[in-house]
Chains A and B, each alone.
Chain A
Amino acid sequence: MFQRNSGRGEESFPAEVQGVFHAYRDSLPDFEGSPEFMPNLWERIEGQRKVTYSFRRIANGFVTVSAALCMTFAVALWTPPSATSSSTPNTYVEVLADDNADEGAADATAI
């Protein structure tokens, strides 16, 4: 069914089908391209660059705004440690320790 091209070890179509493909190749004219090819290409490159640049600017702006928001929330939610730790105990363990200390002191005075 197939023909084998000598030397290259590559199979190919029978001559009749190859003829169709050759006719197809010959029917297509040679292309030199219009004189506007390069200017049009650079126009498209510039257009694409602009799109990429604006997208990058938007992305950068978004990152900056997000960072600023994070900082604002961090500042707003932050409370200084000195305001809480001095007067009231923070944890369950600390409360228990305080209770034990109070009971110990009460026992000592009773004795």
Chain B
Amino acid sequence: MLVEFDLIERARSGDSAAFNGVVTAYRKRIFGTIARLIGRPEDVEDVAQDVFLRLYFSLDQLRTPEVFEPWLYRLTVNAAYDYLRRQRRRHESRLSDLSEQQVLMADAAAGRVADLDQNHRKRTCELVDELLSGVSEQDRILLKLKEVDGKSLKELEGIYNVKENALKVRLFRARQRVLKAFEASKQNATNRGSATVPRKA
């Protein structure tokens, strides 16, 4: 725990300074988790605000301060999930408005503007998105929490409030799909004659 139980208790009873303390303590960690889950640095702050807004209005539902951390991560996962769903809807409607040629031109223009570092980040994100494309949105978040954020099964059990075995089954199925996508991506890269994992220039 990054904060004392007492601080959470005070925040729960409506103490604004205590709530500020809780936000300040967890802010960086939540930023990091959100960034890894959504993969868009520009929207991290907005989603984080959503998380802390949900936290503020649901603190009185917290049974004991002991379960605060998994509970905060559950709010984070839910906010990230909502964001990804909104993004997908927006992306679909935007693409449906453009012709294929316009999409290609927009991509090319975006590519010219981005510098090398951004380009590398973009390519890595695209590859991860490609690997996770066959996995449902929920399992995608679960996999990212496990593989990218480094959460243990015990921690995930607390966040998802489900038994470890159920999580193992979900992870196993998701991993199989990712591996299948990885093999396909490798095959494509071999056919095109380029490397699978993007290397920094």
Contact = CB atoms under 8 A, between A and B. Distances in A.
A21 B27 contact: no
The binding surface of chain B is classed by DSSP as helix
A42 B28 CA distance: 18
B111 interface: no
Q: Which bucket holds chain B's interface residue count? A: 35 or more
Given A20-B197, A21-B148, A33-B48, A28 B182 contact: no
A50 B9 CA distance: 24
Interface stretch (B35-43, B72-80, B85-93): B35-43
A41 B121 contact: no
Given A20-B182, A21-B128, 16 more contacts: A2-B175, A8-B153, A11-B168, A11-B175, A16-B196, A20-B131, A24-B127, A27-B121, A27-B124, A28-B35, A31-B28, A31-B41, A40-B49, A44-B53, A45-B53, A45-B57
Interface string A2-18: 10000010111110111
Q: Which bucket holds chain A's interface residue count? A: 20 to 34
A8 B49 contact: no
A23 B124 contact: yes
A34 B36 CA distance: 18
A61 interface: no
B135 interface: no
Contacts of B23: 38, 41
10 contacts: A1-B179, A2-B175, A11-B175, A23-B124, A24-B124, A24-B148, A28-B32, A31-B28, A31-B44, A38-B24
